[in-house]
Structure 1
Amino acid sequence: MNDVAAHNKLPPSVHDTVNHLFRHESGKMVSLLTRIFGFHNLQLAEDVVQETLLKALTIWPFSGIPHNPSGWLFQTAKNLALDKIRRERFTVHYADDLSLLLKSEWSVVSTLNDLFLGNEIQDDQLRMMFTCCHPAFPIESQVALTLKTLCGFSIGEIAKAFLTNEPAINKRLYRAKQEIRSKKVRFEIPIGVEIHQRITGVLSVLYLMFNEGYASSNAERLIREDLVAEAMRLARLLAEHPECRRPEVCALLALMSFHASRFVSRIDDHGHILLLEEQDRTLWDEELIRQGHYYLEESAHGDYLTSYHVEAAIAYYYVEAKTFEETRWDEILKLYDQLQTLSPSPVIALNRAVVIAQLHGPQQGLEAIGQISGVELLANYYILYATLGDLHRRMQAYEKAEINLQKAMALTDSPIEKDLLMKKLHTV
Structure 2
Amino acid sequence: MADASDGPDVAPVTEADIERVFRAEYGRAVAVLVRLVGDIDLAEEAVQEAFATAVERWPTAGLPPSPAGWIITAARRKAIDRQRREASRDGRQAEALLLYATGDRPGDEPVEEGPVHDDRLRLIFTCCHPALAESAQVALTLRLLGGLTSAEIARAFLVGEPTMAQRIVRAKGKIRDARIPYRVPADADLPDRLRPVLAVVYLIFNEGYLSAGPDEGPQREELCAEAIRLGRLLAELMPDEPEVLGLLALMLLIQARRPARFTPDGALILLADQDRTRWDRDLVAEGRALVRRCLRRGAPGPYQIQAAINAVHSDAATASATDWRQIVQLYDQQLELAPSPVVALHRAVALAEVEGPAEALAQIEHLDLDGYYLWHALRADLLRRLDRRAEAALAYRAALTRTQNPAERAQLERGLRSVTTRPD
- Give the structure-2-normalised TM-score: 0.84
**Does structure 1 retain, via aligned residues, the 8 Å contact 2:377–2:395?**
yes
Aligned match of 2:128 in 133, 139, 142? Answer: 133
1:304-326 CA-partner distances (Å, limit 9, x unpaired): 32111211111111111121111
Query: Post-superposition shift, 1:419?
Result: 1.8
Please list the CA deviations of residues 192-240 of structure 1 after superposition, one character each: whole Å capped at 9, or x if unmatched: 3233332222112112222222213899539933222222222222222
Structure 1's consecutive aligned runs of 4 or more residues displaced over 6 angstroms after TM superposition are: 111-115
The structural deviation recorded for 1:327 is 0.8
Tell me, what secondary structure is at the counterpart of 1:29?
helix
Which residue, 279, 286, 292 being the options, matches 2:281? 286
2:195 to 197, 200, 221: 200
The Cα shift of 1:114 comes to: 11
Change in 2 beyond 3 A, CA 1:91/1:264? same
**Larger deviation, residues 110-119 vs 294-303:** 110-119
- Out of 204, 224, 244, the position equivalent to 1:228 is 224
Larger RCO of the pair (alpha carbons < 8 Å, separation 6+): 1
C-alpha deviation, 1:88, in angstroms: 2.7
The match for 1:391 among 370, 382, 394 is 382
Kindly report the root-mean-square deviation, in angstroms, between the aligned alpha carbons of the 2 structures: 3.2
Q: How does 1:214-363 map to 2 (within 5 A)?
A: 214-216=209-211, 221=216, 224-241=220-237, 245-302=240-297, 304-363=299-358
SS at match of 1:119: coil
Query: Match for 1:117: what amino acid?
Result: E
Following superposition, the deviation at residue 252 of structure 1 comes to 1.5
2:399 to 408, 411, 423: 408
How much identity, in percent, do the aligned residues show?
36
Q: Which amino acid aligns with 1:50?
A: Q
User: Mapping of 1:98-137 within 5 angstroms?
Assistant: 100=94, 102-103=96-97, 107=101, 109-110=103-104, 117-120=113-116, 122-137=117-132
Matched, 1:45 2:43: yes
Over 3 Å counting, the alpha-carbon distance change for 1:369 and 1:42 in structure 2 is same
Q: Deviations over 1:262-288 (max 9, x none)?
A: 111112222211111221111112221
Paired position in structure 1 for 2:33: 33
Distance 1:72 1:29 in 2: 11
Q: From the superposition, tell whether residues 219 and 396 of structure 1 become closer, same or farther in structure 2 (CA, over 3 Å).
A: same
Contact conserved, 1:161 with 1:218, CA < 8 A, in 2?
Answer: no
- Assess if the C-alpha contact under 8 Å between 2:139 and 2:167 holds in 1: yes
Residues in 2 aligned to 1:190 and 1:384: alpha-carbon distance in whole angstroms: 38
Q: Closer, same or farther in 2 for the Cα pair 1:18/1:257, shift >3 Å?
A: same
Partners in 2 of 1:154 and 1:87 — Cα distance? Answer: 23
8 Å CA contact 1:102–1:111 kept in 2: the answer is no
Aligned length: 402
Q: Structure 1 stretches of 5 or more lacking a match?
A: 1-12
Structure 2 distance, partners of 1:313, 1:330, is 13
Structure 2: stretches of 5+ with no match in the other structure: 1-12, 420-424
Question: Which residue in 2 is equivalent to 1:85?
Answer: 80
Distance 1:131 1:92, change over 3 A: farther
CA distance in 2, matches of 1:392, 1:283: 31
Mapped partners of 1:183, 1:111: distance in 2 = 35
Q: TM-score, normalised by structure 1?
A: 0.83
